[in-house]
Amino acid sequence: MKVSQLTLLMIILLIIQAFSSFNFLVNTYAQTASDVYVGIDLSYGDVADAKALIDQVSSYTNLIVVGTTKITWYPDKVNETFNYAYNKGLSFISLPPNLPDYSSISINKSEWYEYAKNTWGTQLLGFYYLDEPGGRQVDSVKQYTGNVSRYADAASQFTEIVSHFMDNNIRSAYSYKAFTSDYALYWFDYKAGYDAIFTEFGWNYSRQLNIALCRGAAAVQNKDWGAMITWTYTAPPYIESGEELYNDLVLAYDNGAKYIVVFDGNEGWTQGILEQEHLEALQRFWNYVQNNPRKSNPVSDRAAYVLPNAYGYGFRGPQDHIWGIWEADTLSYNVSVSVSSLLDDYGEKLDIIYDDGLQPGNNYGYNQLIYWDSYSLTPPKISILSPENKTYSVSNVSLTCTINKPVTWIGYSLDDQAQITMIANITLTNLSNGLHNITVYAKDRFDTMGVSEAIHFSIDQPNINQPESFPTLPVLAASIAAVAVAGVGLVVYFKKRKH
């Protein structure tokens, strides 16, 4: 009997130990350094809604952003929600504790932050503050600048004012990270002190352009970046389809986003907008992350387009505002067209940065820096490597050339005859004895024609009477790139109207 009781006791102890170990792993899961945080921004409802959402998605997310004031303005509700997320192994970000003026509740912020640090540790990643400061500035919804006459003054005022707000509310005494999402002026958000910006995927605005702007600013300033998938429409269903959502999630992940968040809230902040298809897309993406290590796309493999210092252009078409104060200027069109061209050329390997203290000769880890005043829509530059200006003793001569940019068409003219299309370096065959000349032509995506220098050469093959020279035979792949034609159009975009 005693043996049986002892055996039973040992089994119970083993079960308790196993359960404790499991619970420890769950609670410390989000505290380990994570390659990517995937989650939902809850922007509606109360604690019960938060718990229901956490129960639903905690098996295929590791982050929740608590963006509803119905929780974050009340310390007891914040504590209850954070405890629930913590016990589910999630990391979390929220609005900072900020009680409304009419509230009868009081809070000692210093004591609460100390309690937070001791209770949740690093699972509380930081606080989401000042929604879309850059976008609001560009759209003049809420300007962070006063009367200014120069771009540099606007940049200075914007960064100083936003930084002041953050210091007073979340940074100076507590050292928590500051987050926000935005759709413009990422560079200056980081300059103001944000630790991570979520570029917004919404409407019909270019995802890759926003990635280039946000990721470039983060890379040069040594910060983190992420993406927030938000509204596509101003009315239900608000958000894109499940399949489109999945594609956006994968795009953010493959481009290196550290935080990937889906925005969940309707226009009145009364209910969520995610349907079953969206949750299934999120779960499918979670499986993708587990089974697909990030693609290798380090800074050293990317190029950076360098904008003028303090040029706070909105990038939503050639007529977008500058700092929400000035209309588009003479530079706006050239920048817009140049960025569109470079995105076609480099795709996910393009970042956009500013000439803000950059040192000459320093590429800041990039493979190439392309300065705004050195990149223009110039004709392709063609260099003929062969034939050379000399005499050949054979009747077959290779035609080899290089071109300094991607093109959509290449051709040549031999002895001033009609142009012949070529898709590769070729061999000119059966050339007759005597003098010859050859010129190569190429068009870029804007139909700008480039023309090479004419090469004059001779054929002197002894004792051979040859017929007229005949067209050519392709022999090897060209050392140039052919790409599809791409136009530049005005992209219509509206912000998501968050809190």
Domain that holds residue 440: 382-476
- Tokens 């392309």 correspond to 370
395 and 367 in a common domain = no
268 and 165 in a common domain = yes
Cβ–Cβ under 8 Å, residues 230 and 496: yes
392 and 332 in a common domain = no
Tell me the β-bridge partners of 397: 428
Q: Would you give the distance in Å from CA 29 to the centre of its chain? A: 27
Q: What is the secondary structure of 133-157 as a DSSP string?
A: HHHHHHTTSS-S--S-SSHHHHHHH
Residue 316 within a domain = yes
Among residues 376, 411, 437, the one where a domain terminates is 376
Cβ–Cβ under 8 Å, residues 297 and 351: no
327 and 238 in a common domain = yes
Residue 110 within a domain = no
Q: What CATH code is carried by the domain that includes residue 454? A: 2.60.40.10
pLDDT at residue 221, rounded to an integer: 97
368 and 386 in a common domain = no
- Tokens 């360098």 correspond to 306
282 and 185 in a common domain = yes
How many independent structural domains does the chain possess? 2
Residue 63 within a domain = no
293 and 158 in a common domain = yes
What gap in Å lies between CA 39 and CA 259, rounded to an integer? 8
Residue 471 within a domain = yes
Tell me the β-bridge partners of 38: 260
Which structure tokens are listed for 338?
A: 């140049």
Which structure tokens are listed for 8?
A: 């039973």
133 and 230 in a common domain = yes
Residue 429 within a domain = yes
All residues at 6 or more sequence positions from 423 whose CB lies less than 8 Å from its CB, including other chains? 410, 474, 478, 482
Residue 451 within a domain = yes
Tell me the β-bridge partners of 261: 39, 228
287 and 143 in a common domain = yes
User: Three-state secondary structure along the chain?
Assistant: CHHHHHHHHHHHHHHHHHHHHHHHHHHHHCCCCCCCEEEEEECCCCHHHHHHHHHHHCCCCCEEEECCHHHHCCHHHHHHHHHHHHHCCCEEEECCCCCCCCCCCCCCHHHHHHHHHHHHHHHEEEEECCCCHHHHHHCCCCCCCCCCCCHHHHHHHHHHHHHHHHHHHHHCCCCCEEEEEECCCHHHHHHHCCCEEEEEECCCCCHHHHHHHHHHHHHHCCCEEEEEECCCCCCCCCCCCHHHHHHHHHHHHHCCCCEEEEEECCCCCCCCCCCHHHHHHHHHHHHHHHHCCCCCCCHHHCEEEEECCCCCECCCCCCCCECCCECCCHHHHHHHHHHHHHHHHHHHHEEEEECCCCCCCCCCCCCEEEECCCCCCCCCCEEEEECCCCEECCCCEEEEEEECCCECEEEEEECCCCCEECCCEEEEECCCCEEEEEEEEEECCCCCEEECCCEEEEECCCCCCCCCCEEEEEEECCCCCECCCCCCCCCCCCCCCCC
What gap in Å lies between CA 71 and CA 92, rounded to an integer? 13
Residue 440 within a domain = yes
388 and 357 in a common domain = no
314 and 245 in a common domain = yes
For the sheet with 350-354, list strands across it. 350-354, 303-307, 368-371
Closest by CA to 352, choosing from 199, 151, 154, 144, is 199
- The pTM of the full predicted model, rounded to 2 decimals, is 0.75
**pLDDT of the chain, 499 residues: tens digit per residue:** 444 555 555 555 555 454 444 443 333 333 334 589 999 999 999 999 999 999 999 999 999 999 999 998 888 899 999 999 999 999 999 998 765 444 455 677 778 888 999 999 999 999 999 999 999 999 987 788 888 999 999 999 999 999 998 887 776 557 789 999 999 999 999 999 999 999 999 998 999 999 999 999 999 999 999 999 999 999 999 999 999 999 999 999 999 999 999 999 999 999 999 999 999 999 999 999 999 998 767 999 999 999 999 999 999 988 999 999 999 998 999 899 899 989 988 999 999 999 999 998 899 999 999 999 887 667 889 999 999 999 999 999 999 999 988 888 999 999 999 999 998 889 999 999 999 999 999 998 667 899 999 999 999 998 655 555 444 444 333 334 433 333 333 333 334 444 4
Q: Which helix (H) or strand (E) holds 443?
A: strand 434-443
pLDDT at residue 294, rounded to an integer: 86
All residues at 6 or more sequence positions from 370 whose CB lies less than 8 Å from its CB, including other chains? 303, 304, 305, 306, 342
320 and 193 in a common domain = yes
